Chains A and B, each alone.
Chain A
Amino acid sequence: MRTLEQTTQEVLDLASKHFNVPAGSLAPEDDFFKKLGIDSLQTLEMLSRLENHFGIELPDYEVQGVSDFRTLASRIQSRL
């Protein structure tokens, strides 16, 4: 079982890979809309990647209003 820290790190790694930003340039408290310059649709694409990686289903409503990696990771963690 992953710890929340591990999950958060994996979320950051996947996001940096998916959006082609240097590894290590994203922090858990970063606002992904702002930091990655993405819109709500691109966020949904990122969610699909995260679901595949973690082998879970993350309903759209779970990420409603979420804009930072830490909260996103905690939502994933609760479904692992």
Chain B
Amino acid sequence: MLDLSKYQSIGAALKDALQAFSNEVCLIEADREREKERLTYQEFKERAHPFATALQEAAFVAGDRASIIMTNQSKWLISAYAIFYTGGVLVPLDYKLTPNEQWQLLKHSGAKVLVTEYPIWRQLSVAYGRSAATNVRAVLVTEAPANADLAGAQRWEEFRGSSEPTFVPRTRKDVACIVYSSGTGGRPKGCMMTHENYLEQCVALTSLYPFSPGVRYLSILPTNHAIDFMVGFFGPFICGAAVVHLRTLRPEYLREAFSKYKITYVSLVPLVLKNLQKGLQARFDELPPGKRRIFNALVAANKALTKSHPRLGLSRRLLKQVHDPFGGELRTIIVGGAFTEPQTLQFFYDLGIPVANGYGLTEAGTAITVNDLKPFRADTVGKPLPGMEVRIVNAGADGIGEVSVRSKTIMSGYLNEPELTAAAIVDGWLMTGDLGRMESTGHLQLFGRKKNMIVTEEGKNIYPEDIEAVFDSLPVKESCIFAANYIWPQRSMVGEQLLLAIHLEPGQTYSDELRRDISARSNKLLNYQRIHGVVLFDRDFPRTASLKIKRSLLAEELAKLDRASAFLPL
């Protein structure tokens, strides 16, 4: 088991790793069929240090915040390392947010420096949100064309100091990253993750999925996401493994990357895993009857032989035609970001490709449970990771209650939100808002949510408060968005939908025109944020003295309606 007990910070642990593995390859970056970059740990350090020096020359000091808004690429990791080296706090933001959402979070985080890519900066620089984020004093832009107008930014490539940077130590309890789990709609939830959170999580995860020199991790999930930050940066780097970045995520180049770079691990969201399943199933269905019978017999044999635990070498020989396109080195597909359907997990396991599903929250420092595959249990999200205490609160007769967690990986709180923090962490236990049951075998099963939000198959957390502004001027008396399962609880983690509850003006009817208006507004949202239906409520919404909607009370009232007849699909 990895021992990181001597380290106080991410920066200190990475600094030693860069030294220890100096001749190993740490990064490969490819754009379609072209390999753009291949760096050893030594070369990585040589890129990062001048950047760190330049940060220090720009008066970036311990505790200062720097944000990265980039797609997955080598400069993401180089910049992050330099930020940690100089004692900074990293604010990784989702490059898929709208420019104004990004400015809103940049302002909220108090970031002094922004590192971004030219195509993203082109949109950010002209967004109106820029004027409010006066805290952002330096913007460093990568890959800008020679004659580009940088709109006040500096070129990342030219932001270099000539002397050696000074390493700035931090303590385990200092904040290392501010990671936004939600909240572009008013109350951003910036999870303050400490150095200890990451050091402990790294030890726990690598005990199940070890990294070492020669291991290659294909980084597809955005690196701002807690999972990829851990298994696509910190984990592999600490152990001397290599990370492979692709500049395009087109399926054909993704497929090619597995065999070209002999990938060992990859993390995917359920949507991509299901797409992979569909593609494989279509291939199997095309087999002529004779070959199909032989193939089915081999799958049956593999199932029988891997019942208690995976046997990779055996599965690779038995089902060569399935494993070869994956490069022959793939050990595990890690799936996260959202709930994965058991039949998808089972499909891959039966083919001898273990899929490590788990359960986690940004607030908990990535993963809480992971399927250890001994034996594989597709109907659960696995057992708690080492160091994680999980308990079920207010369990009913069926054993189902709210999942709560205590560990050294739990965030220190939400930035500038003591009330939200106090509601989320009670006596040291993180209340997840998810419903689950602990089995006698130690496996956790999930049964829906207590909280008003949905998680899409793409791993996107959608909170109603974040998207309600689109319906602000809707010509009705009042409206409010809910997760349908929050009103009518379902013992399920899939097929979650959002609905718009509306209270019409006196004498107003739910006309076709109104429905079209709602639909048009919904379509302005990103495709995974859109609402699926409308529920009509015939009374005033319950409100607080300050006229805020009492959501939980309104949900209780709406729950008295029959879901099947009340939910009007858009």
Residues of A at the B interface (CB closer than 8 Å) are 31, 33-34, 39-41, 44-45, 47-48, 57, 59-62, 64-65, 67
Contacts and interface: CB of A to CB of B under 8 A. Distances in A.
Contacts of B271: 39-41
Contacts of B71: 60-61
A45 B251 contact: yes
B119 A41 contact: no
A44 B98 contact: no
Given A34-B523, A39-B271, A40-B458, A59 B250 contact: no
Contact of B119 (A44, A45, A57, A61): A61
A39 B269 CA distance: 13
Where chain A touches its partner, the secondary structure class is: helix
Interface string B243-284: 000011111100000000000000000011001000000000
A72 to B, nearest CB: 14
B372 interface: no
B250 A47 contact: yes
A22 B523 CA distance: 23
B214 to A, nearest CB: 29
A33 B526 CA distance: 10
A44 B246 CA distance: 14
Interface string B82-95: 00000000000001
Contacts of A33: 527
Contacts of B252: 48
Interface of B: 32, 71, 95-96, 98, 117, 119-120, 247-252, 271-272, 275, 458, 523, 526-527
A41 B527 contact: no
Nearest to A38: B527
Most buried by A among B252, B523, B527: B527
A65 B271 CA distance: 18
Contacts of B526: 65, 67
Nearest to A33: B527
B523 A31 contact: yes
The 7 closest A-B pairs by CB, nearest first: A33-B527, A61-B119, A41-B275, A44-B250, A48-B250, A60-B248, A31-B523
A57 B32 contact: yes
A44 B523 contact: no
29 contacts: A31-B523, A31-B527, A33-B527, A34-B523, A34-B527, A39-B458, A41-B251, A41-B272, A44-B250, A44-B251, A45-B251, A47-B250, A48-B250, A48-B252, A59-B119, A59-B248, A60-B247, A60-B248, A60-B249, A61-B71, A61-B95, A61-B117, A61-B119, A61-B120, A64-B96, A65-B96, A65-B98, A65-B526, A67-B523
